Amino acid sequence: MSGFMETEEQARHRFQLELEFVQCLANPNYLNFLAQRGYLREKPFVNYLKYLLYWKEPEYAKFLKYPHCLHMLELLQYEHFRKELVNAQCTKFIDEQQILHWQHYSRKRTRLQQALAEQQQQHQPQAPSHGNTTSK
């Protein structure tokens, strides 16, 4: 069984499969799904997850569109994490935190914009006040 030769076509196909699958791991709901069906308890699956770590290498990582999956993959190497994923509350929490983190930069940007707008408002009232004194 081990060491069977696959054609290049098969290898490319496998590449796409693994690319898709590893990115699916970024989805906490999918992780919950896997955990509840007991996949995360099976040794071959765990070994497969360890094998998937090759996506961390730069020449492979550049194909990933959802980089969160790499962090999830790293966490999945720990048995404690895999055990916790069965819990729906846990995955919900992960989902929330993930989305909040995802919004981090846009929040920061809106904050900066607000700060800039406030600064400009502070500068502006000085100009009309000059006008008032002269008109009087």
Partner 1 sequence: MRKRGETVMAAAAEKSTKEKLLSTLDDIEVLSRELIEMLALSRTQKLPQPGEDTDILELLVQRDKEFQELMQTAVEQGEVHQEMQALEKEVEKRDSDIQQLQKQLKEAEHVLATAVYQAKEKLKSIEKARKGSISSEEIIKYAHRISASNAVCAPLNWVPGDPRRPYPTDLEMRSGILGNMSNMPTNGVNGHLPGDALAAGRLPDILTPQYPWQSADVSMGILPPHHGNDFGLEPPGHNKENEDDVEAMSTDSSSSSSDSD
Q: How far apart are CA 118 and CA 124, in angstroms?
A: 10
Under rule CB under 8 A, residue 123 binds partner 1:
no
Task: Judge whether 51 and 43 are in contact, CB under 8 Å.
Answer: no
Under rule CB under 8 A, residue 39 binds partner 1:
yes
Helices (H), 1-136: 8-24, 28-36, 43-51, 58-61, 68-76, 79-84, 88-102, 104-123, 126-135
Single out the residue of 93, 105, 120, 123 in contact with partner 1 (rule: CB under 8 A): 105
CB of 89 to partner 1, least distance (A): 19
CA dihedral 97, 99, 102, 105 (to 10 degrees): -80
What is the identity of the amino acid at 70? L
Under rule CB under 8 A, residue 93 binds partner 1:
no
40-79: contacts with partner 1 (CB under 8 A): 41-48, 50-51, 54, 58-60, 62-69, 77-79
Query: Which residues of the chain form contacts with partner 1 (CB under 8 A)?
Result: 1-4, 8, 10-21, 23-24, 26-30, 33-34, 37-39, 41-48, 50-51, 54, 58-60, 62-69, 77-80, 98-99, 101-106, 109-110
